[in-house]
Amino acid sequence: MRRRPLAILGAALTLLATAAPAAAERLVSSLSSHRVLITPSFTGTELVLFGTVEHDAASVPRRGSYDIVATVSGPRETLVVRRKERMFGIWANADSRTFVEVPSYLAVLSTRPAEEIAPIDVLRRLQIGLRRTLLPQRIGPDTADVVRDDPFRNAFLRLKLSHDLYVDAPNAVTFLTPILFRATIPLPAGAPIGNYEVDLKLFADGALITRGGDAFEIVKFGFEQFVAGAALNHGLLYGLATALMALLTGWLASVVFRRD
């Protein structure tokens, strides 16, 4: 199947015919849902991403098969990573590093490990993979990313991965047919509320051919939305209601369990 002499010949002919190869494939994709609702029974969920590689008359036949890299990033947040050191016999937070406006959620899903899909300089330029994603950090007066094996940067990635908020899934995208693909985006219960972007990149023969994208949002719904909204917008009333609820609960207990 992989060796298609005619296809290669065709590709060569097309290359000769058009000086600049017009990459005419198009990515068409969708998600199983564009809105994830947080209800009282929410314990995390999965979204299914599916799509197809569309050809038209100008499409160049490819030698190898297609590769997809899907990068899902959640709302940005600023985080502090602290390192404990022993001081006077006890372990206390000594050094810290602030990560500025980094994705709260980041999943990199691909058909193969990224290193096999494209050369390393391409991957770096396109920020493909967790290790190559730009993570701006506040260093003195500047905000910049640091070298890849910086201990704070590694610790940040390790902690995010351990909370399932960063996901590295090099085999999560599968081609069902040569042009039809699907992937599952795992969303943990701790995934923050907000807008999520899905960035799709189509590769063939180690080169980026085209990009696609989609988006979804995670929102609190119904009762959860009501409570969170009340706590934020009507703090005094919310506090008084909670205190009153406490008094009522306490009073009820003393009545129910009254013995004399």
Partner 1 sequence: MTPVQVYLPIADLPVNIFVVFAMGIAVGFISGMFGIGGGFLMTPLLIFLGISPAVAVATVSSHIAASSFSGAITYWRRKALDLSLAAMLLIGGIAGTAAGVWLFTYLRALGQLDLTISLSYVLLLGSVGGLMVAEGVRAIIRSRHGKPVELRRPGSHTWFHGLPFKLRFKQSRIYVSSIPVVMIGFIMGFIGAIMGIGGGFLLVPMLIYFLRVPTNVVIGTSMVLTLVTMATATVLHSITNHLVDVILALILMVGGVMGAQFGARAGQKMRSERLRLMLGILVLAVGVRFAVDLVMTPDDFYSIRQLEGTQ
Contacting positions for partner 1 (CB under 8 A)? 38-44, 77-86, 89-93, 96, 98, 152, 155-156, 158-160, 189-190, 192-193, 220, 223-224, 227-228, 231-232, 235-236, 238-243, 245-247, 249-254, 257, 260
Nearer to partner 1, 29 or 104 (CB): 104
Amino acid at 174: T
Nearest distance from residue 214's CB to partner 1, in Å? 25
Nearer to partner 1, 126 or 191 (CB): 191
Q: Residues near 235 by Cβ (< 8 Å), separated by ≥ 6?
A: none
Q: Residues near 143 by Cβ (< 8 Å), separated by ≥ 6?
A: 100, 136, 137
Q: Residues near 237 by Cβ (< 8 Å), separated by ≥ 6?
A: 230
Among residues 101, 106, 105, the alpha carbon closest in space to that of 77 is found at 101
Nearest distance from residue 161's CB to partner 1, in Å? 11
**Cα 11–chain centre separation:** 35
Nearer to partner 1, 170 or 192 (CB): 192
Nearest distance from residue 42's CB to partner 1, in Å? 4
Nearer to partner 1, 58 or 243 (CB): 243
Nearest distance from residue 74's CB to partner 1, in Å? 13
Among residues 46, 36, 4, the alpha carbon closest in space to that of 178 is found at 4
